[in-house]
Amino acid sequence: MVKICCIGAGYVGGPTMAVIALKCPSIEVVVVDISASRIAAWNSDQLPIYEPGLDDVVKQCRGKNLFFSTNVEVHVAEADIIFVSVNTPTKTRGLGAGKAADLTYWESAARMIADVSRSDKIVVEKSTVPVKTAEAIEKILTHNSKGVNYQILSNPEFLAEGTAIQDLFTPDRVLIGGRETPEGSRAVQTLKDVYAHWVPEDRILTTNLWSAELSKLAANAFLAQRISSVNAISALCEATGANVSEVAFAVGKDSRIGPKFLNASVGFGGSCFQKDILNLVYICECNGLPEVANYWRQVIKINDYQKSRFVNRVVSSMFNTVSGKKIAVLGFAFKKDTGDTRETPAIDVCKGLLGDKASISIYDPQVTEEQIRRDLAMNKFDWDHPAHLQPTSPAAVKQVSVTWDAYAAAKGAHGVCILTEWDEFRELDYQRIYDNMQKPAFVFDGRNVVDAEKLRAIGFIVYSIGKPL
């Protein structure tokens, strides 16, 4: 029986390994983590992450061929294939701070692998890492090897949160990069055999190590670039009377462009787009390519512009001040169908409104009050350093309240900001909301989810992204 161990039981490690276990009953999969609370949650009925379909997959294989453990060293020592899926946040201090990837967690995982291994291992980079990380990992492993042979593979993950299980069941592609040596090819084949249990062979791409590492950063940069492109156009739509939905539809009809990922929004969030583009920018700078670095940096600048443009719109529409006014924030997660708040645009928008002394009342169906308060108290880039690895600073934000209902959030409010596209926000009783708000009652739709005309008929003043007023 092939044994797999995955280091890191997070948004990637957990779902990815659960699906491998489900699709490969002959493989034993153990997911390990240094966070005892996270592992306890994976072993309970309340999984640590909300992801549609995940509960079902975990229930089917947990205790059979899928295990979650804090016994990191034992399971690493026993495994044939070790996936490393630890977090790779942006560095907060030192060389490359604010841009470069912080590989501390990765390096400590690699050193631990070298310490405890007594048999040959295939070590798989699942985390998103800078190009050439495999070379660094190889050095750590081989210089500390006790006669053990290591093969390093790059197998970046392309799942998106909220659709992780579907993405893992039917991936557009699985990418495996390895050394172009006989041993490297054998390792690639071993990993390919795992995925071949359910992924059609023509969707399993094999490349050299550096192409695989770079493809992951490039894919995220291309995806984020589409959003910044449509968001940039949304500003021009607002200035000219064009409608960004109509423009995006017309543009996306060109089969060379395609319709996906062209939804204008308050800005993209999530743990990876910004982090990975900053990482790409840093790699370009280190390789003497400032023009290329500046090109990609612009994708982030437009995203920041879009978020501050939204805050400015709220404040300027409400007679240039929100001081002392209650504003309801509907949605705090960075997208629907997840409870993840890492780099959510809601943090910047709420901080912007708080900066103008608004009092805000937040509702999100999946995000806890504790998480919201921690996010609003955190400094930039702290979000991807897990809470158990950093000093806690959940200083109470006094002007913030958190409710478990959209109606309670909007009661007595001057304005409503929709910041996540949860389906339930399309179905709300907006007449009831209007009746309980201060007048004039404003709706600022940062996700273009409401029917603006219907709301205007009720009496709301509605601002949508990239649409005529």
Question: Binders of ligand NAD among 372-411, rule CB under 6 A?
Answer: 386
Nearest CA to 442 out of 402, 404, 410 is that of 410
Tell me if 154 sits within 8 A of 106, measured CB to CB. Answer: no
Is residue 123 packed enough to be buried (19+ CB in 10 Å), middle (13-18) or exposed (0-12)? Answer: buried
Structure token pair of residue 343: 């780099």
Contact stretch for ligand NAD (CB under 6 A) within 79-87, 136-144, 188-196, 284-292: 79-87
The two three-digit tokens of residue 87, written as one number: 């977090």
Query: Rule CB under 6 A: is residue 83 a binding residue for ligand NAD?
Result: no
- Catalytic option among 237, 272, 284, 417: 272
Q: Is 124 in the site for ligand NAD (CB under 6 A)?
A: no
Would you count residue 13 as binding ligand NAD (CB under 6 A)?
yes
DSSP letters spanning 246-288 = HHHHHHHTSTTT-STT----S---SSSHHHHHHHHHHHHHHTT
Task: Give the strand pairing for 415-418 and 28-32.
Answer: unpaired
Binder of ligand UGA out of 102, 161, 213, 445 (CB under 6 A): 161
- Cα–Cα distance measured from residue 106 to residue 125, given in angstroms and rounded to the nearest whole number: 9
Binding ligand NAD by CB under 6 A: which of 27, 31, 109, 214?
109
Cα(414)–Cα(318) distance, integer angstroms: 8
- Establish if 270 lies at the interface with ligand UGA (CB under 6 A): yes
Candidates 18, 47, 212, 262; binder of ligand UGA (CB under 6 A) is 262
Within 314-343, the residues that bind ligand UGA by CB under 6 A are 334-335
Identify whether 350 is a catalytic site residue. no
- Contact call for residue 356 and ligand NAD (CB under 6 A): no
Smallest gap from Cβ 430 to ligand UGA, in A, equals 22
How many chain residues interact with ligand NAD (CB under 6 A)? Answer: 27
**Torsion angles phi and psi, residue 100, rounded to 5:** -65, 155
CA 315 – CA 140 distance, rounded (Å)? 53
> What is the strand order of the sheet 81-84 is part of?
66-69, 28-32, 3-7, 81-84, 121-125, 150-154, 174-178, 204-208
Is residue 380 a known part of a binding site?
Answer: no
The verdict on 53 binding ligand NAD (CB under 6 A) reads: no
* Residue 7 interacts with which of ligand NAD, ligand UGA, none, CB < 5 to 8 Å by class: ligand NAD
For residue 115, how many other CB atoms are within 10 A of its CB? 12
Q: Residue 297 annotated as binding?
A: no
Give residue for tokens 């959510």. 344
**Binding-site ranges for ligand NAD (CB under 6 A):** 7-13, 33-35, 38, 72, 85-88, 105, 108-109, 127-128, 157, 159, 161, 271-272, 386
**Binding-site ranges for ligand UGA (CB under 6 A):** 128, 157-161, 220, 223, 227, 261-263, 265, 268-273, 334-335
Q: Which residues are annotated as a binding site for NAD(+)?
A: 8-13, 33, 38, 86-90, 127-128, 161, 272-275, 342
